[in-house]
Amino acid sequence: MSEASSRAERSKVERSRSNTSTPSPRVGKPRLAASRGGVAASTPLGMTRDPLAEEFLRYLSNERNASPRTLKAYRHALASFRAENKTSWKKSTADDFRNHLFAIMKRGCARSYVRLQFSALRTFYQFLAARKRLRHNPVRDVQLPKIEKKLPLVLTRQQVDELLTAPTREPKSRSAPSWMPLRDVAIMELFYSSGLRLSELAALDVAEVDPYTESVRVLGKGRKERVCPVGLPALEAMQKYRAAANVHTGALFINKARKRMSVRSVWLVLKRYVRHTSIPISMSPHKLRHSFATHMLDRGADLRSVQALLGHASLSTTQIYTHVTVERLKKAYADAHPRA
């Protein structure tokens, strides 16, 4: 065999070895191996499945039509207890939940937060009693701290007027579209005119505002729909904003990228303008809702009507505004009556 043919033969052998060698591993995201018990790949590491909790959350979503925010709160409440107590749900006792209550209180959480957590746990055990024939609800035996009844802070009508006109008085930033101050006026006018919740206003579409009936259709808590009247100043403010921003379909309130404004963005609008007023308290959209309800009652509206406008399921929730009105009457009496 010649030297040239020998080199060619060796080259063939080397190529053959390289083709049969183990391929190099791909660089990329590693695959999640399925863990024991058939846990889905989306289950976070270090957490085990909770079939009863998952079934309960599906029930809330599908049968009770619970909002994503409610589902998130209930999921957190169940996971928080489970992180501290590994006893099965059916074997957990009232003492287990008392220990959970003490742990939450030690962290300095507000009483309203504590009651929200236990409301979720109580509802969960009601579900277990109805669907899984659980005979006893241990959460019922836990005495919760009474919630602190604080009267809501409300603005005077003069302060409301000052806040609603702030966007037209203050210079806008150079990067902001020319229609943005008109949008901000419309947002605050609608808050005060209809007493909407922050999430309700941010979710509004153009089609849900009816200028002919002077009303807005709102999807509230529990996905319950209600129709709220809208005052003429708010309707005019929305009309001016929509014409200037060329908003005719889809989301009612948009940002400069022409996307729907987030809940946080709407909240920041109010926070930005309150700095340019003489209002001495910190401001939130809910304070405009408080002011709407209180001013309605001040002017003679009945409690049931205000309850319907606010979308409260219980009249007791609305009654707190009557206390505000009574306190204002007492102050007016003390200030004005010569023998008060």
Catalytic residue among 287, 289, 290, 295: 289
> Residue 304: which residues within 8 A CB-CB, separation 6 or more?
315
321 catalytic per annotation: yes
Burial environment of residue 185 by CB neighbours within 10 A (0 to 12, 13 to 18, 19 or more): buried
286 catalytic per annotation: yes
Q: What is the DSSP string of 217-250?
A: EEE-GGG-EEEEE--HHHHHHHHHHHHHHT--SS
CA 298 to CA 292: how far, in whole Å? 10
| Paired strand residues for 215 | 210, 229
Contact 213, 169 (CB under 8 A): no
Contact 121, 139 (CB under 8 A): yes
172 catalytic per annotation: no
Catalytic residue among 122, 183, 197, 287: 197
Tell me the CA distances in angstroms from 118 to 67, 74, 104, 213, 238, one per residue in order: 18, 9, 11, 42, 41
Q: Could you tell me the strand order of the sheet in which 215-219 lies?
A: 209-210, 215-219, 225-229
Catalytic residue among 82, 260, 312, 328: 312
221 catalytic per annotation: yes
CA distance from start to end of the chain: 127
Q: What are the phi and psi torsion angles at 229 (to 5°)? A: -70, 150
Catalytic residue among 217, 221, 260, 328: 221
299 catalytic per annotation: no
76 catalytic per annotation: no
Catalytic residue among 98, 111, 272, 286: 286
Among all residues, which ones are annotated catalytic?
197, 221, 286, 289, 312, 321
